[in-house]
A and B are shown apart, each in its own frame.
Chain A
């Protein structure tokens, strides 16, 4: 009786192949997120970016500081929704290349970056022997070192590329 119930070797091979394939593909969707390479500390993923738990906690802490009374579930959802919306806007701006093309955004980015370098310098981060101006020059030199700059048209007889900041 047992032998009658046995699958023929050929059918067994095919059955195993299908089971193997099924397990392989379903593992992609069934395995825990960590095993699939997702950030375990993430609370949400928006396209390729994640909102991490610490960012979320920080936003909640700020919200708590502004709000009188206890934080409710609705508040928690609101904060997360705001963070997601913020990330969507940032992604849209980057997708549209706004920091480069939109003059207002470009100036804001530049100003914020310059302020950040000056703040770092004032806080003693970086080389303490250098002033804020020197820090900026150092930073720009590093950017230039790692960039691929090609002069495509001669704009002047005395063009200076590498030393113009100096």
Chain B
């Protein structure tokens, strides 16, 4: 009876965690961006948002999204120069955008001979308080500045051109915030770190793991942002889910010693998926599935020879970091980086990712340490079992769901 009760609680916990795993918490940050061109007599801005983001503003199904977006911008974007509001030259005009996105153009009449304008953006904050807006401002002297708008920071004064060094530093600062915001807002990255940390017992092991993960994601973040590789984001996001499931399975394998059995079951599952993909012509290509099968076999069987300690995990964490780095880069490439601030932005964003990561790991590590010093220590095995099982469920939910475009 006691066992049944425990199993029921476990089931409940896992179900709850899966139910809480809606795609909204895993990498669908509410964000938009804009490109501004400031000249002597006018200010032009092109705003871009995901179409799904604009549906937040929809009050009736009859309205088209581009009109809703344009109307919303008209009410929520304004510019002041020398205390005077700049008038819009025309109505905000929807303009063609790439698939899945909505764009609109605003032109303000502003005479800017001496003053620098004050930009005020409150778009989307009423419907999504965590919304962030990134503005790239190009001034008349071809210099670029970055500004981040949040619910608490809805105004920015555009810096004068003679403060270029200040704008680079400000750019780095802004991207540090974006990096922190990205990793803390991405549940999948946090859960992957949690899966990695579950079996760690020593601080030294923790350092090795984090170093491996950091090296991995820094490499792919850099090469993707520079434009040397253009990964398929759909595959990257699905594979991130897979890495969570694989590390969770490895946790159970390390505790039970059933590496070979679990490797076999994993391969059967992947082969079934590959067969479905081939028959229905959906999901990952056969080559990608073969890659995942090889990775699973290599990882789980390599671990079987190294059951004590964290073994090859730092090396594998580097490999997994490569995959997560592509995901991190998507946040940067989506909002676009001005070429003159490429390295500053990349540096700032990576620092932000590391700071966010350190924050998360410190929190998780403190929880794990705290747990070790409580009376529940005798149940630590059950906790690892439960957490790993939940993480495996979540990882598979994201992997399968994203592979087939269900979520």
Query: Chain A: residues with CB nearer than 8 A to chain B?
Result: 2, 5-7, 9-10, 12-14, 16-17, 19-25, 27-28, 31, 35-37, 41, 52-55, 126-127, 138, 142-143, 145-147
The residues of A that contact B390 with a CB separation of less than 8 Å are 20
Query: Which residues does chain B contribute within 8 Å of A36, judged by CB atoms?
Result: 401, 406-407
**A/B interface sample: 7 pairs, CB < 8 A:** A6-B3, A9-B255, A10-B257, A20-B393, A24-B396, A54-B62, A126-B91
Give the nearest-CB partner of A8 in chain B.
B256
Q: Which of B91, B385, B391 has the most CB of A within 10 A?
A: B385
A60–chain B nearest beta-carbon distance, Å: 14
New A-B contacts (7) at CB < 8 Å, excluding given A7-B3, A25-B397: A9-B256, A16-B10, A16-B385, A24-B394, A31-B19, A35-B19, A54-B60
Is B206's beta carbon under 8 Å from chain A? no
Q: Count residues on chain B whose CB falls below 8 Å from chain A CBs.
A: 52
Complex contacts, A53 vs chain B, CB 8 Å: 61
CA distance A21 to B95 in the complex (A): 45
Also in contact, A17 and B392, with CB within 8 A (given A2-B2, A24-B397, A126-B91): yes
Q: Is B59 an interface residue (CB 8 A)?
A: no
B90 is contacted by which of A28, A127, A145 (Cβ under 8 Å)? A127
**Which one, B22, B252, B400, contacts A35 given CB within 8 A?**
B22
Query: Chain A contacts of B60 at CB under 8 A?
Result: 54
Q: Is B343 an interface residue (CB 8 A)?
A: no
Across the interface, which residues of B come within 8 angstroms of A10, CB to CB? 255-258
Contact present for B388 and A17 (CB under 8 Å): yes
Instruction: Give Cα A55 to B191, complex, Å.
Output: 41
Given the complex, which residues of B lie within 8 Å of A143, measured CB to CB?
95-96
Asked if B93 lies at the interface with its beta carbon under 8 angstroms from chain A, I say yes
Interface of B is mostly: helix
**Interface residues in B82-96 (C-beta closer than 8 Å to A):** 90-91, 93, 95-96
Assess the A54–B61 pair: CB atoms within 8 A: yes
If the complex has contacts A37-B407, A143-B96, are A24 and B256 also in contact, measured as CB distance less than 8 A?
no
CA distance A28 to B407 in the complex (A): 8
The residue on A at minimum CB distance from B405 is: A48
Question: Which residues of chain B are within 8 angstroms of A24 by Cβ–Cβ distance?
Answer: 18, 245, 392-397, 400
Alpha-carbon separation in the docked complex, A24 to B395 (Å): 8
Q: Are the C-beta atoms of A145 and B61 separated by less than 8 Å?
A: no
Q: How far is the CA of A62 from the CA of B395 in the complex (A)?
A: 47
Judge whether A27 and B397 touch: CB under 8 Å.
Answer: yes
Residues of B within 8 A of A35 (CB): 19, 22
Contact B105 A142 (CB under 8 A): yes
B91-A127 in contact (CB<8A): yes
Cβ of A41 and Cβ of B61 under 8 Å apart?
A: yes
User: Which A residues touch B401, using CB under 8 A?
Assistant: 28, 36
Q: Which residues of A contact B256 (CB under 8 A)?
A: 9-10, 13-14
Distance of A143 Cα from B105 Cα, bound (Å)? 11
Chain B residues packing against A (C-beta within 8 Å):
1-3, 10-11, 14-15, 18-19, 21-23, 46, 60-62, 90-91, 93, 95-97, 103, 105, 245, 248-249, 252, 255-258, 261-262, 381-382, 385-386, 388-397, 400-401, 406-407
Tell me the smallest distance from the CB of B13 to a CB of chain A, in Å: 10
Question: A52 is contacted by which of B10, B61, B255, B393 (Cβ under 8 Å)?
Answer: B61
Measured CB to CB, the nearest residue on chain B to A129 is: B90
Which residues does chain A contribute within 8 Å of B261, judged by CB atoms? 14
Report A-chain residues with C-beta under 8 Å of the C-beta of B96.
142-143, 146-147
Q: Considering the chains assembled together, what is the distance between the CA atoms of A147 and B103 in angstroms?
A: 13
Which residues on B sit within 8 Å (CB–CB) of A41? 61
Q: Which of A6, A7, A20, A52 contacts B392 (CB 8 A)?
A: A20
Which of B95, B252, B397 makes the CB contact (< 8 A) with A146? Answer: B95
The answer for the CA separation of A152 and B305 in the assembled complex, in Å, is 59
Determine the chain B residues whose CB is within 8 A of the CB of A54 once the complex forms. Answer: 60-62
Complex Cα–Cα for A6 and B382 (A): 14
A16 and B22 form a contact (CB under 8 A): no
Cβ-defined partner of A20 (8 Å) among B3, B62, B389, B407: B389
Select which of A12, A28, A126 is within 8 A of B400 by beta carbon: A28
In the complex, chain A residues whose CB is within 8 Å of the CB of B262 = 14, 17
The answer to whether A17 and B252 touch across the interface, beta carbons within 8 angstroms, is: yes
A12 touches B11 (CB 8 A): no
Interface pair B23/A37, CB less than 8 Å apart: yes
CB distance from B86 to the nearest CB of A (A): 17
Q: Which chain B residue lies CB-closest to A41?
A: B61
A24 to B406, CA, bound (A): 13
- Sorted from nearest, which 8 A-B pairs have the closest CB atoms? A24-B393, A20-B389, A20-B393, A54-B61, A16-B389, A24-B396, A24-B397, A10-B256
